[in-house]
Amino acid sequence: METHLEREYKFDVDPGFDPPDLRPVVGRTERLPQQRLTTTYYDTPDLALWEQGITLRFRVEVSGDGPPEDDRTGDRARAGKWTLKLPAMDAGAEAAGSEGSGDRWELTWKADGARVPDQAVAVVCGLVRNQTLQPVVVLQATRRRLLLQGAADRPWGEIDDDLVEVTSGARQGLRFRQMELELLGDAEPAEAAAAGTAGVADVADVAEVVDALRRAGAAPGGGSKFALAAGLDGSRPGPADGGGSLRQVVGAILRADANRWLEADYRLRVPAGDGDPGRPDPAVVQLALGALRQWRAHLGAFEQGLDPVWSRHLRADLARLEELLEVLRIEDAVLQLVVDHADPDDAEQAAELRGLLSADRHLGALDLVEELQSAPYQEALGRMAASRHAPPLIGVDPDGRAAPFLRAALATRWRRARRSARSSVAGTEATGAKRFGRLADTARACEPHLGRRAGRLASAAQEVSDALTDVVDARAAAHRLRETALHPAVTPAVAFVAGRVAGRAEAGASRRADRARRAATRLSRRHAAAWLD
């Protein structure tokens, strides 16, 4: 498997579009050999991948100008390349906010098209579940390519001009033309590699090329080839209108929770470049834990109107997963503490300590991978999928107004958080962090239906939850470091560094604990939620 970040700008152009001469803009261009491409896109019958902004394709490339043998349905017995494209979590600085730009991670495998690679299936199996990945559309394209070179003849971009015909699918026979400006970085065409290492595009260079194409008549923001061929509108489904009835509102909230979790699910499954599935990025762990806690918070908040058997089973099936994600989050916090607090004189010992902690983190990540494949989790995904279409409401009028139900659910959350803030029992930071976090999640979901007061309550509760969470994390990290220091296999020098970092973490936690508890008490005494009574 190979991975790289694809950064490209798409343009819709007319069949008779005359590309501008870009040499005055970039300095030097090079015409690369023309290609003929046959591309087969795969998805489930209900387009579960597309709903998450993911595309899976098998492509056969034929270089040269001569016409290849006609292939109307895609020759899947020939050698080619599978590509799984995933939305990037964060847009790059140059592309952010730019019309027509998009960043996506590409995972590629060289193989024939007889079947989808197992590694690709493993990444999206939480989306596919018991469905089948099948061909949806087949495209044939003639691609004309232009390499853009900057200073010292270093290539930084490639313009692909595609004449496309849909040879199989919902819009068979459709022909269209599309251009792409792809920025070269860690992955460049063989021709660019032969010319030298690909350079990084300058923001001004990109802007000038985009502007030149626009002036010539190219329309930025071209849609996905798959979307055009499949008769889609080019955009992913947005959040459903919550409407005003209880069924509509709760259904919309649960669908949003499910979609957020499904994004976390496939990101947790993405293997490292060497194929190792046991290394989810810390940012992905944070995304997944936030999504899971939000989902469970809403299930608990709306429990008075949901089927109790369905809701309790679902929350129980997800408890183990939340525990494993929390372990990974603490491991990441410990590693960051060592990086932040270790003195330069202890560099060797700190590196050894990080190695020990990273090994434990890897084992925890493998436990997470195993849990994602477990029967209880698969059952939870099934229950979640069912709730996206029809929330299992019981004991309430599904066609009644949602606002009174949401206000009552939020009031219950508020009372529980306030009791936690007023408790004088030592070590209640963890409980308080969870309760204020659940209050924030519930208030945020209710804001579109209860107004700005719910939004202000969500912001205040989130601030308290974050402060208490910092205290909990610091104490958990200190405990984890002390455990490591006491391990028989740890040398005295490494144990000393671990103990010193633990002491600093504990001291910081003690300083922040009083401030966090005072913030929780202040919020509990304010009239921030008086309107709920």
Spell out a b/e string for 369-403, using b for 16 or more CB atoms within 10 Å of the CB, else e. Answer: bebbeeeebeebbebbeebbeebbbeebebeeebe
Check if the beta carbon of residue 122 is closer than 8 Å to that of residue 1: no
DSSP E strands, 14-51: 28-43
Contact 156, 201 (CB under 8 A): yes
Q: Which residue has the tokens 């709306």?
A: 302
What pLDDT band is residue 203 in, cutting at 50, 70 and 90?
Answer: low
The burial class, CB within 10 Å (0-12 / 13-18 / 19+), for 191 is middle
Q: Which of 65-69, 164-168, 486-490 has the lowest mean pLDDT?
A: 65-69
Tell me the C-alpha distance between 289 and 321, whole Å. Answer: 9
Confidence of residue 511 (pLDDT cuts 50, 70, 90): confident
pLDDT digits (tens, 9 = 90+) for 295-305: 999 999 999 99
Would you call 529 helix, strand, or coil by DSSP? coil
Spatial separation of the C-alpha atoms in residues 227 and 176, rounded to whole Å:
12
- CA of 247: how far to CAs of 55, 253, 292, 406, in Å? 32, 10, 22, 12
Same fold, 2-230 and 246-527: no
pLDDT of residue 532: 81
Domain ranges of the chain: 2-230, 246-527
Q: Binning pLDDT at 50, 70 and 90, where does residue 11 land? A: very high
CB proximity list for 162: less than 8 A, separation 6 or greater? 37, 141, 142, 143, 177, 178, 179, 180, 225
Out of 190-194, 196-200, 477-481, least confident range: 190-194
Q: In whole angstroms, what separates CA 264 from the centre of its chain? A: 6
Over range 104-110, report the average pLDDT: 92
Query: How far apart are the C-alpha atoms of 255 and 54, rounded to whole Å?
Result: 18
- Percent of the chain past pLDDT 70, that is, above it, reads 86
Per-residue CA distances from 71 to 38, 49, 133 (Å): 8, 26, 21
CATH superfamily of 246-527: CHAD domain (1.40.20.10)
Q: Which residue's entry shows tokens 């330069």?
A: 344
Digit-coded pLDDT (tens) for 466-497: 988 988 888 999 999 999 999 888 999 999 99
CATH number for the region 2-230 comes to 2.40.320.10
In sequence order, what are the residues at sequence separation of 6 or more whose Cβ sits closer than 8 angstroms to the Cβ of residue 499? 481, 482, 485
Give the 3-state DSSP-derived string for 225-283, with helices as H, strands as E and coil as C: HHHHHHCCCCCCCCCCCCCCEHHHHHHHHHHHHHHHHHHHHHHHHCCCCCCCCCCCCHH
Average per-residue pLDDT in the chain? Answer: 85
**What is the pTM (predicted TM-score) of this model?**
0.85
How far is Cα 288 from Cα 282, in angstroms, rounded to an integer? 10
DSSP type of residue 28: E
Place of tokens 């989790």: 377
Q: How confident is the model at residue 313 (pLDDT cuts 50, 70, 90)?
A: confident
Range 129-134 average pLDDT: 92
Tell the burial category of 5 from Cβ atoms under 10 Å away from its Cβ (0-12, 13-18, 19+): middle
Q: State the average pLDDT over residues 136-154.
A: 89
- As given in the structure block, the two tokens for residue 334 are 């410990």
Amino acid letter, 362? H
Give the whole-angstrom CA distance, residue 465 versus residue 473.
Answer: 12
pLDDT at 76: 56
450 token code pair = 């209860």
Return d(Cα 178, Cα 100) in angstroms, integer. 12
- Give the separation between CA 341 and CA 502, rounded to whole angstroms: 10
